[in-house]
Amino acid sequence: MNLHEYQAREILRKHGIPVPEGAVAASPAEARAIAQRLGGTVVVKAQVHAGGRGKAGGVKLAQTPDDAETVAGRILGMRIKGLVVDKVLVVPAAEIATESYVGFIVDRASQRPVLMVSAAGGVDIEEVAAQTPEKIHRLTVDPRYGLLPHQAQALAFQLYREIGPVRQAADIMRRLYETVYAVGASLVEINPLVTTPDGKVQALDAKIVIDDNELERHPDIAALRDASSEAPSEVQARQAGLTFIKLEGSVGCCVNGAGLAMATMDLVKYYGGEPANFLDIGGSSNPEKVVNALRIITADPSVKAILFNIFGGITRCDDVANGIVQATTAFPLKVPMVIRLTGTNEKEALAILAKAGYSAGTDMDQAVQAAVARAQGRAA
């Protein structure tokens, strides 16, 4: 789960990392009041889950409170990469002496948190990594001992020469490491970490991504979720306990298990079709889940055929069959459906479906070919 900049700032502030003053506004009038309170020139920043906000016109300077109101009025409601801006962050336009990058990721290969710093901050760090990797310094942290003071200090010396900012930056890195574990983050970034002309080190912009598996134990963080940035069908699916990702094609896929769901999408493509979605109904075989899955898939007008691919293990094929019958009785389908199921209670499932007037097969390739044909308006 991605957090907005204003949410990430607040988390850093709570963990003792200096961030500039500022506040979030949902209306031009609120932006004006914040600018008034801050005094001087301010920056008005769109709060959306998209990179490249500045280039898209979502970050603007404002000299006066009146300006701030006008600028906020233009940014609020703007679309950046398809996402509507409904909040702006208003912060003082601080003078900046230097810009650096500090970030933590959990590294898959070493299975440990890795701290990355670069004196080339304020720009896209992935570009720095691609073009001038020597400008990024990495440290793999041993989670048994955490980030040790001398390690943080050595990395801070990669950013600054003076001991004053080095000490401040080292302290920020240690607090940032603690923040990772405190909130359950899979990524935290300060970009840029700035020094002001009077020698203060501050986090000017921040990004935090929370591991979805942590949300249950951090209800306060889970409450920060902004569902407005997600496709409504994905929100609906999450609430129903399904994993659903909307794609652009016409074959609606309903599969049990993530790997098989991906392989099914790939096979749709292999036979010349395009998958409309990734959908994993999970390991449980609750017919209700199947009903919800069908409701979500059929709500997408680009879906021209529905494909079920079920390999019964823990999932019982008869439960899935019952779900299909329940769902299609409650709201009859307007598009053709192809069903493949095999494994646990396959015979019972085929009988349930036959009674309801549906035919089903047990071969994955045949089913996918038939679904692609039907989606393209051909006979299966």
Q: Which one among 262, 333, 335, 356 touches another protein, defined by CB under 8 A?
A: 262
Residues 92-131 that bind another protein (CB under 8 A): 106, 108-109, 111-113, 126
Q: Which one among 21, 66, 142, 162 touches another protein, defined by CB under 8 A?
A: 142
Neighbours of 375 (CB within 10 A): 27
Is 189 considered catalytic here? Answer: yes
Residues 20-79 that bind another protein (CB under 8 A): none
The H or E element that residue 209 is part of is strand 206-210
* 173 CB-contact burial (10 Å; exposed 0-12 / middle 13-18 / buried 19+): buried
SS3 67: helix
Tell me how far apart the alpha carbons of residues 254 and 328 are, in angstroms, rounded to a whole number: 14
Annotate 218-287 with three-state secondary structure.
CHHHHCCCCHHHCCHHHHHHHHCCCEEEECCCCEEEEECCHHHHHHHHHHHHHCCCCECEEEECCCCCCH
SS3 196: coil
Tell me: does residue 347 bind another protein (CB under 8 A).
no
Residues 150-189 that bind another protein (CB under 8 A): 180-181, 184, 186
Tell me: does residue 147 bind another protein (CB under 8 A).
no
CB 236 within 8 A of CB 201: no
Tell me: does residue 286 bind another protein (CB under 8 A).
no
Active-site entry in 5, 69, 189, 230: 189
Residue 170 or 317: the one with the smaller Cβ distance to another protein is 317
Tell me: does residue 342 bind another protein (CB under 8 A).
yes
Is 214 considered catalytic here? Answer: no
Tell me: does residue 364 bind another protein (CB under 8 A).
yes
Q: Which one among 29, 270, 299, 380 touches another protein, defined by CB under 8 A?
A: 270
Which parts of this chain interact with another protein (CB under 8 A)?
106, 108-109, 111-113, 126, 142-144, 180-181, 184, 186, 211-214, 216-217, 243, 245, 247, 255-263, 265-270, 275, 278, 280, 283, 311-315, 342-344, 364-365
